[in-house]
Amino acid sequence: MLPALPAAVSSPAVEHSASMHCYDLNGRRAIVTGGAQGFGRAIAERFLHSGARVCLWDREADLVKDTARELSPLGEVHSAVVDVVDHLQVETAAAAAAARFGGIDILVANAGIAGPTRPVWEYPPDEWRRVIDVDLTGIFLCCRAVVPHMRAQRYGRIVAIASIAGKEGNPNASAYSAAKAGVIALTKSLGKELAGEDIAVNCITPGPARTRIFDQITPAHIEYMLSKVPRGRFLRVEELASLTTWLVSDENSFATGAVYDLSGGRATY
C-alpha cells in the first residue's frame, strides 16, 4: 500500500546542522523559481545557510511572501510574484533582482507542474500546451532573461530542474515527460553556447519526492513512480538541495551542459 502523504511538505526554516556540508556561496546572488514550496524552498534554504542572498519567484503571491518571511532569519531573502510563462513578467523580475542585488550569479529554474494523468489519445490539447509552457518554455524564458546579466559580469551558474521522466518517459504523463526531455536538451544547448565563459549550465533529473506536485496526480501514478525506484523510497527535498548547492558553487568549475541523475537508481542512462 502506498504510504500516506504528510499533511504538510514544507517545514519552517531549521537551524543549520553541524553535519551539513557548507558550500561557500557568500556574496552570491540567486534567483529560485517555484521558490515558495517543495524543491524550491529547500534549495533557497540551503543557499541562505551557505551565505547567498536569494530572491524567490513564484506565482502564488501569499505563499511566496510567507515563505520569504519564514526564511528571513537565515539571511537576505526577497520575493516576487512571477508567472514564468509571461516573458514580460520574467524580464521585469530579472531586471529588478539585478538592480536590488547589483547582479545575478545563480538561477535555479525549478517552477513546474505535473499536468493530467492521461494516455496520449485522451490528453487534452490545452493541457498539453499548458504543461509545455510552464515546464519547458518557462525555463527558456528565465534563462533568456538572466543570461545577459551573467554574461555582463562574466560569471554565472544555472541549474534547471528536469525529471527522470525526461530520460525514461512515464506512461500517462506524456506532456510532463516531453517537457522535461526538452529541459535536458535546452541545458545541453545553452551549456555549449556559454562554455567559453565562466557560466555553467547543468540540470538535475530527480525521481519523485513528497511535494505538493503529488496533489496534481493520481495515487495510482504515485505508486507506479515509487515502484520504479530501486532504493524503495521517495527522494528527500534536502538531497536535491545539496546537489544543487554544489552545482552553483565555485567548486563546480568545469562541468557544464551535464545531466545529474538523482533517481535512486532508476535511470538506465
Q: What is the extent of the structural domain holding 78? A: 29-257
| Among candidate residues 87, 99, 78, the one with its CA nearest the CA of residue 31 | 78
Does residue 263 form part of some domain? no
Does residue 233 form part of some domain? yes
Does residue 112 form part of some domain? yes
pLDDT at 213: 60
Does residue 11 form part of some domain? no
Does residue 70 form part of some domain? yes
pLDDT tens digits along 50-94: 999 999 999 999 999 999 999 999 999 999 999 999 999 999 999
| Cα–Cα distance measured from residue 169 to residue 249, given in angstroms and rounded to the nearest whole number | 30
Weakly modelled stretches of the chain, pLDDT under 70: 1-20, 211-217
The CATH number linked to 75 is 3.40.50.720
pLDDT at 231: 87
pLDDT at 20: 67
Our answer to whether residue 155 is catalytic in this structure is no
Does residue 221 form part of some domain? yes
How many domains does the chain divide into?
A: 1
Q: Which is catalytic among the residues 176, 224, 260, 269?
A: 176
pLDDT at 207: 85
pLDDT at 133: 98
pLDDT at 215: 64
Does residue 174 form part of some domain? yes
pLDDT at 230: 84
Does residue 213 form part of some domain? yes
pLDDT at 266: 83
